[in-house]
Structure 1
Amino acid sequence: MGAVSVAQAAERLGVSVPRIHQRIADGSLVAERIGSQWVVDERSLLHVQERSKAGRPHSARSAWAVIAASEDDRDRMGVSGPAMSARARMQLKRLLEVAAEPVADEEVVRHLAVLLRSVFRNRAQRRLLRAAPADLVELRVDDRWAMLVDLGASGIASPDVEAYLGESDVDGVVRDYLLVEADRDANVVLHVLPDAQYPYPASRLRLAADLAEHRGPREEARAAELLHELAVEWKARER
């Protein structure tokens, strides 16, 4: 994705130009100064647009309950209680119904990716960081990870490190590898979990949510395919 002018960003968000400058100043919009003008990163702009249009986001507990339902994990769903379990199954059904037809075009892919980000964005705190490239190999095999996100299994090759980490281990990992907050040049993605939360390492639904958050066309397309695969299997079981 490219960049747009401040005036274009204001028009797309339906706000004033000064409000765009405020968002740039507070960091909620990523922008770069070129000469005397600011240009706004389009991916950052889409992120703000989605958040402004979305309804009330799912809580972390609700998001993980939907993932548990997709894995038919009755034991962990049972801990949440019958009302939460029933609600999670209904939310899963609604999500998969949208993905029941084969992914036909970019508009469908975008819609499914937006749904995934809306439903699952609170499943963990997502932090973008940067490590020294020489440390990535060692970082990838650190035994403190709750799990590594295997983007390779999805067909999306990536040299970066993406993983789920229990919140009690975050400070130690950040300190040991001198990780620093980053944005465009991030090569480490941390999904910070409460220590007791099981991350479902084999879940295709959770992987689809991980991919959708990258917002790239290949990642979103693969996320939509994974969601469609789950929808086909779910439909077959319902018959």
Structure 2
Amino acid sequence: MAWIELEGAVNARDLGGLPTIDGGSTVHSRLLRSENLQELTPGDVSRLVEELGVTTVVDLRSTNEVTIEGPAPLDALSGVRHAHHPVLKEFLDVSDTLKAALLTESVEADRERYPDDPMCGHYLGYLENRPEEVVGALRTIATAPGAAIVHCAAGKDRTGVVVALALTIAGVEPEAIVDDYMATDDRLEAIVERLSRSRMYAGDITSRPVKAHAPRAETMKAFLEQLTVRYGGIDAWLTANGFGAAEVATLRARLRQA
């Protein structure tokens, strides 16, 4: 995992170089992750598109978030595809969208789904409530002609889950997936500061202390374990939701070193 230093995003990284269970590694400039991309500068856009080969943006935000935040700089480029896969339940009320996106309020369904760690329960909710969007995001990554950059608001929860699934398909060691998830903690204050300036998240993001937004390694470990406990493994979950063996092979090959 390598940080991508940008002026308009602080939680961007390239997921190349991660170790796989069989002794291989992931390839660079194929799968990138980030927070909200609204503040990218012309230099950032050049870095992502010309240097890193970004052809596809995988946007996991809700329709309300996309509408209120408005177009991002990468949207203006004809050679970059914007694929919208909202993995949260869609809400008519913007305040409900904010609560769900920023997790400023615990949801009873999350506790019921996984009492030991409601945040893990929240992540499992993406798979159970919006499987078509999760699978759609993975399919977009698999078929991107160049690098795909996955993002949500903070680049931690929704992005963390979709990236963890993609890396699991690629055979990345679980410890490395957890380490990548936890890397967001290194930039947490800067992420909160950025989101506090945005149209959508200003005010709500600062309603709790910065550390309240911090990722926990135990949450991602539990999520990865639950893929097996609840669904019989990631392949079984993917098959049940229309992502077949040929697509698994395509995504796996795309993310791994030849």
Question: What TM-score do the two structures reach when normalised by structure 1?
Answer: 0.28
Higher-RCO chain (CA-CA 8 Å, sequence separation at least 6): 2
- Of structures 1 and 2, the larger Rg is shown by 1
Question: What TM-score do the two structures reach when normalised by structure 2?
Answer: 0.27
More helix, by proportion = 1
